[in-house]
Structure 1
Amino acid sequence: MQPLLWNKNVIQNVKDQTGYDVPYQKAWYSLKMARDIVYGTWESSVQKLPAYLGAIQKYNPGTIVEWKHKAFQASTAAMDGNQQVLPLAFAVVDEETYPWFLQQLSRHVIRGRRGMCLISDRHGGLIKAVREGPDFVSPHGVHRYCLRHVCSNFNSTIKNVVLKDLCWQAGSEYQLRKFNRIMDEIKKQDVKAFAYLDAINKEKWTASHDGGWRCGILTTNMSECINGVLKGARRLPVSALVEI
């Protein structure tokens, strides 16, 4: 059964195969019953989760499990030497608990290593949590902003797609001379747009001021890749989410 199957798909499939129009509520209950049969119910899923995580910890060496009654999914990913996405850690909690998640990441994944570079969006809670932690501030590591999010936020304020493209060009340019030229063009077209970008620490969002920490990675697309894989599973019981 496909996790991404929706009520409208059930209604259309029945219509195509039988000619019968299924009421929306009946389609909803039928789909729920099918998910319960294939993936289990939410209640049984939560009950099985401690034993399930224990088995993962036993048979997958290096796995760290901390059981807490928390249901928002947070995750981190990295890129290995073959340029492939490597999931590092995930947590299922009841809210966006950035300090707690970064503490667990530090304790179980980073474990005192230096030279770590964290790339994220500019969520205020996450920025505050990073500043309060030891791993992504100098001299231990750095925190960088996803250029795609910077450009999106920039466009939400300036509302000019031409300037948004220039913002991307400025952030992705590795040569300082070319970066300055693009910024001058932005300033020429809109002083407020220039002031918006100039107010952001250039080390955080531009390749030309990064110092090589990013290793050419400008966005959080790898995390979005993981989110894409889990998109269908988010509606399933928690044990099915962990299994996927």
Structure 2
Amino acid sequence: MGTISQDHSKLDLDTVADTIRPLVEAGPSIKVKSIITEVQSRFNYTVSYRKAWLAKQKAVAKVFYDWKVSYQTLPVWLKAMTVKMPRSRVKIKTLSVYRESEEVQVVRVLHRIFWSFVLSVYCSIQTLNQNIVPIAFAIVEGETADAWEFFLTNLRRYVVTMDGVGIISDHHTSIDAAIARSNGAWSPPRAWHMYCIRHIGFNFLRRFKASYLHKLMVKTGYSRTEQEYNKNYQRLKEWGEAYNQWCDDIGVERWVLAFDGGHRWGHMMTNLVEIDGSFLPEVGVGTGLELCFSENLEK
């Protein structure tokens, strides 16, 4: 392709966007650093981070249309889904638009979306390699208590309607707050809320910076009997009571297998792969949506 100098005016955003379009088509979540590397290898020219980022937005719009069009057509797609797959569940929440304190009557702004495919509602399973099949999805503004309340309310109303279920999540204050607001919908005896041992272990490391105790702490969570738990608990206590106090504040029924009442079905973590949302504009994706549900057959 030849060599283009640093100040070459023809290497504009459209040129860069057209160059990286095949990469965006193959993977919309491509990193901006990868775009810079691609341009450098093609033209022997290092574009700025901002220019690469803007070019990516142009390429995404050319391939998938712009965000405004996408959001405008989203209700149509969801309506088509419910027509094609009856009993699929969709809930769209919109906000009013105001101009100089007066509501604009003909315009609504997308706020949140919840949906679940009919097959997910009636045929949710665990795969042979112990992966959990997603049963519900949402697009929200972030991991806030209000957003989680929106998701969990619709999940309870449309999908998880049986009682005696276990819910495993990360130890996030917004999830705890949403469950506290649920008027018992996600509390005993209707449901039991427990924490993912991977997130508990991460929080332990962040709190104490004691990597040498991480394995012991996780092993304590995996204790299958009260005797095994007491043994591991005492070993942890030998290193300092602060570690035990931190664990006690969580509550053994939330993170120790021996005290879960059978509601975990042996699951200690949420094992869904987190989604890279780097190409989505101001939308939180993945982290908090790692939820798995298991019905306790004894109930």
1:154 aligns with 2:188: no
1:179 alignment partner, SS class: helix
Give the corresponding residue for 2:126: 80
Q: What TM-score do the two structures reach when normalised by structure 2?
A: 0.69
In structure 1, stretches of 5+ residues that fail to align are 239-244
Please list, as runs of the form range in 1=range in 2, the aligned pairs for 1:114-193 lying within 5 A after superposition: 114-133=163-182, 134-193=184-243
1:139 alignment partner, SS class: coil
Give the corresponding residue for 1:235: 280
* Deviation (angstroms), 1:142: 0.7
Give the corresponding residue for 1:35: 60
1:218 aligns with 2:244: no
Q: What TM-score do the two structures reach when normalised by structure 1?
A: 0.83
Q: Which has the higher helix share?
A: 1
* Deviation (angstroms), 1:234: 4.8
TM-aligned CA distance change 1:169 to 1:210, over 3 Å: same
* Deviation (angstroms), 1:157: 2.1
Q: Confirm or deny: 8 A CA contact 2:224 2:257 kept in the other structure.
A: yes
Give the corresponding residue for 1:91: 138
Taking CA–CA contacts closer than 8 Å with sequence separation of 6 or more, which of the two structures ends up with the larger relative contact order? Answer: 1
* Higher radius of gyration, 1 or 2: 2
Distance 2:79 2:136 in 1: 16
1:119 alignment partner, SS class: strand
1:110 alignment partner, SS class: coil
- Deviating beyond 6 angstroms after TM superposition, the runs of 4 or more aligned structure 1 residues are 72-78
Q: Confirm or deny: 8 A CA contact 1:41 1:237 kept in the other structure.
A: no
Alignment size in residue pairs: 232
* Deviation (angstroms), 1:208: 1.0
RMSD: 2.7
* Deviation (angstroms), 1:193: 0.7
Distance 2:82 2:271 in 1: 28
Q: Confirm or deny: 8 A CA contact 2:115 2:136 kept in the other structure.
A: yes
TM-aligned CA distance change 1:197 to 1:236, over 3 Å: closer
**1:55 aligned partner, one-letter code:** A
TM-aligned CA distance change 1:26 to 1:152, over 3 Å: closer
Residues 43-71 of structure 1: per-residue CA shift (max 9 Å, x gap): 11111111011111111233111121356
Distance 2:225 2:131 in 1: 27
Give the corresponding residue for 2:294: none
